[in-house]
């Protein structure tokens, strides 16, 4: 058997891509599976063409994604690489996610995001029993559990799937604005949760893009995050296709 030092010597660390080159690769991957662009449901709501039943199902699906994902933001706080900074003001990653969790969990100005999704469902005439008894799409379960896997696996992969390939892409899609305006104009619904996302997503998208640039600097991180993003966008793409069948 080869001496330990020979084993180490023959497993050299591969260099990372320059960050700009790497992000261009990731952007190409995401664009090839752009589930926002493939979505037919939100444009139908925006134009008032979707039935009320479809709008109810969209609200219910949103509730379950929020219910499962909101508590997991705390994992990004715990795993932040600068969690032990001298003060919070000295941190970058930790400060961002601590503030985001406080916002989403309702400790700042707005109610917590899960309660706002319940409010949206109730405005559509759904009872609490309707909400509790709803079975989400298998594709929603798959997408959410895939996200959860990576959020729990490492900070870098969590930031990649929730931030860079999540909030940043959502911000550029105009998805939340279309949904908010459609609900208000055609269905008489003011969904505060959707309104908050419509206003906040551009700023959040810029910030998570900046954070991701700071950590996507080694070959190992780049490879892990690429796989994580690929798997999440594939499941999200399947989910959108399943939801599109509601109006086709």
Tell me the pLDDT tens digit for each residue of 210-224.
999 999 999 999 999
Cβ atoms within 10 Å, residue 239: 23
What is the band of 197 on the pLDDT scale with cuts at 50, 70, 90? confident
**What pLDDT is recorded for position 80?**
95
Residue 223 counted as domain residue: yes
Residue 12 counted as domain residue: no
- SS3 annotation, 18-76: CHHHHHHHHHHHHHHCCHHHHCCHHHHHHCCCCCHHHHHHHHHHHHHHHHHHHHHHHHH
Section 94-105 average pLDDT: 92
Residue 4 counted as domain residue: no
Q: How many domains does the chain have?
A: 1
Residue 8 counted as domain residue: no
Domain that includes residue 169, residue range:
17-244
Residue 191 belongs to domain with CATH number: 1.20.910.10
**What pLDDT is recorded for position 192?**
87
What is the band of 141 on the pLDDT scale with cuts at 50, 70, 90? very high
Residue 144 counted as domain residue: yes
**What pLDDT is recorded for position 3?**
52
Residue 27 counted as domain residue: yes
């Amino acid at each position: 058997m080869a001496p330990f030092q020979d084993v180490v010597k023959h497993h050299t660390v591969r260099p990372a891509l320059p960050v700009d080159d790497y992000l261009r690769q990731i952007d190409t991957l995401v664009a090839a599976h752009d589930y926002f662009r493939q979505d037919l449901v939100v444009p139908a709501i925006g134009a008032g063409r979707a039935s009320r039943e479809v709008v109810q199902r969209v609200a219910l699906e949103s509730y379950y994604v929020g219910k499962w994902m909101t508590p997991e933001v705390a994992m990004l706080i715990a795993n932040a690489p600068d969690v032990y900074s001298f003060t919070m003001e000295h941190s970058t990653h930790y400060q961002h996610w601590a503030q985001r969790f406080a916002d989403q969990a309702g400790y700042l100005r707005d109610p917590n995001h899960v309660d706002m999704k319940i409010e949206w469902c109730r405005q559509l005439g759904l009872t609490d029993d309707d909400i509790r008894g709803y079975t989400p799409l298998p594709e929603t379960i798959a997408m959410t559990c895939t996200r959860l896997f990576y959020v729990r696996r490492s900070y870098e992969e969590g930031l990649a799937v929730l931030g860079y390939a999540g909030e940043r892409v959502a911000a550029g899609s105009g998805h939340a604005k279309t949904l908010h305006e459609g609900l208000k104009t055609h269905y008489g619904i003011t969904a505060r949760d959707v309104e908050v996302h419509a206003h906040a997503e551009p700023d959040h998208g810029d910030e998570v893009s900046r954070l991701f640039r700071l950590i996507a600097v080694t070959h190992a991180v780049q490879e892990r995050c690429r796989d994580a993003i690929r798997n999440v966008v594939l499941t999200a793409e399947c989910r959108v296709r399943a939801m599109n069948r509601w109006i086709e």
